[in-house]
Amino acid sequence: MEIIHVSAECYPVAKVGGLGDVVGALPKYQQLLGHVAKVVLPMYRTAYLYAHDWETVHKGRTHMGNWWFDYTVIKETTSELGFDLYLIDIYGLLDREGVYGYSDDTERFTAFQIAFVDWISQWNHRPSVVHVHDHQAALIPFIMQYSADYGHLKNVPTVLTIHNAQYQGWMGWDKNHYLPRYDAWKAGLLEWKNTINPLASAIRCAWKVTTVSPSYMEELRYAANGLEALFEYEKGKCSGILNGIDAQVWNPETDTYLAANFDHTTVASGKLANKKELCKRFRLDVAKPLFVFIGRFVGEKAADLLPTVVGDAFHYIGREMSFLILGSGNRAVESHLASLEGIVQEDYRAYIGYNEQLSHQMYAGADFLLMPSRVEPCGLNQMYALRYGTVPVVRDTGGLHDTVVDYADWQGFGIRFQDATVGEISHAIYRALELYGDERFPAIRERIMQIDHSWESSAEQYLALYPSH
């Protein structure tokens, strides 16, 4: 099969969250299984762009409403990522360093999608499947099937993967003219609750719909930011496939970011060496169990609760542990977490920003990973933590439910709690401290490193899902 992935993110080209990790790994493993996988992204002005060689494969001209624009498609020449990578450039829209957060994001990603469809419509063959990811690519199934200009693409199968249904790409009907001309009778396939909803449109129009864990698929039928009834109605073509992790990138035996490499047989000494390096850098006590949080400071991750959690833990449990937090996002949360250092002083540090190298070191050196997420469609951080022998402390939701078994259960290895509240998180920390002193803890660390969350199985499930010809 020839599989075309269309996304706003792909690690290491452009990454904001887990979407980038998935799109950077899934195509590589599909390629390893004998198929042709390609990834198409907007041509952001990232460091990756300037560090690699490219060739121009297509120049085109099309329009978004009354605005005609030229676009260019370039291809990375070496396929070093394990698949063919294409970038679409549109002057004035996509030629920026950042991925999201601009006032004209609707125009940026709508034009990107139109350019993509216009480009593949000129191929002398048809791909086996077009696999779109999240709302930034979710208008493609509708355009391919119902646009008068691209009717010859209507029989190309499309698959939508939803990485986070909270974001749906809403557009007012005043922007309806952006879309390539279509039969007005089909307008209902774009609409949800009186607005154009790209994600809802793709759920209706794509041949298959997947989410990134089985439990998240079930949750969307009663908690989908307004799309619950649609998921219930379309459940026949929906399925959940658990994400994997790239076991080549996330491998403590070979990870060049680490102070010391290790495997499950040397987990105790390996993690201690990395913990010492972390604690030296951040002036923390290596003798105390180290809890880390790695992620975006947004409501879904419950990052707003962290300052109170840290304060309460020290007040009610005592100075028996250390906390190290890495992330960025909500400015108020950033400020609160940064200022907390001056209040609690020792045993707590926060690094505000994005640092891929530090994240690897933290997974390797920490004893526990905190993930108190209010929403977690799949979650990759807990899988990274397991791979590096770090015990996850997670809220029992979405993909966290599918990947972490509480140590109180038979063959359990992590800590789960029910609600994203300060009280429940604090109690989970208390349980973690108990586990840290338990004779089972060394064996648990050794065992979790051997859990297989690599992409091979997930990639095969996607291939089985794709319509065959």
DSSP state of 246: -
The two structure tokens encoding residue 382 = 């807990």
Task: Identify the CA nearest to 96 among candidates 77, 114, 109, 84.
Answer: 109
pLDDT computed for residue 343 by the predictor: 83
CATH, domain 2-244, list 1.10.730.10, 3.40.50.1400, 2.60.40.1760, 3.40.50.2000: 3.40.50.2000
Bridge partners (DSSP) listed for residue 238: 209
Whether the Cβ atoms of residue 244 and residue 457 lie closer than 8 Å to each other = yes
Q: What is the pLDDT of residues 183-203, one digit of tens each?
A: 999 999 999 999 999 999 999
d(CA 13, CA 71): 19
pTM over 0.85: yes
d(CA 284, CA 269): 18
| Residues in CB range of 2: below 8 A, 6 or more apart | 35, 36, 38, 127, 128, 129
The domain made up of 264-453 has a fold known as Rossmann fold (3.40.50)
Q: How many CB atoms lie within 10 A of CB 437?
A: 9
Is 264-453 in the same CATH topology as 2-244? yes
Q: Average model confidence (pLDDT) for the chain?
A: 95
pLDDT computed for residue 467 by the predictor: 83
d(CA 411, CA 407): 7
What backbone torsions phi and psi does residue 4 show, to the nearest 5 degrees? -110, 115
pLDDT computed for residue 341 by the predictor: 87
Bridge partners (DSSP) listed for residue 192: 195
Which whole-number Å values give the CA distances from 282 to 180, 351, 370, in the listed order? Answer: 54, 9, 18
Bridge partners (DSSP) listed for residue 328: 296
Which residues of the chain, if any, have pLDDT below 70?
Answer: 469
Task: Identify the CA nearest to 398 among candidates 166, 181, 171, 174.
Answer: 166
Domain boundaries, the chain: 2-244, 264-453
pLDDT computed for residue 469 by the predictor: 47
* Ramachandran quadrant class, 347 (left: phi over 0; alpha: psi -120 to 50; beta: rest): left
pLDDT computed for residue 421 by the predictor: 97
Mutual angle of helices 455-465 and 18-32, in 10-degree steps: 80
Cis peptide preceding 180, ω within 30 of 0: no
| Residues in CB range of 346: below 8 A, 6 or more apart | 283, 284, 285, 319
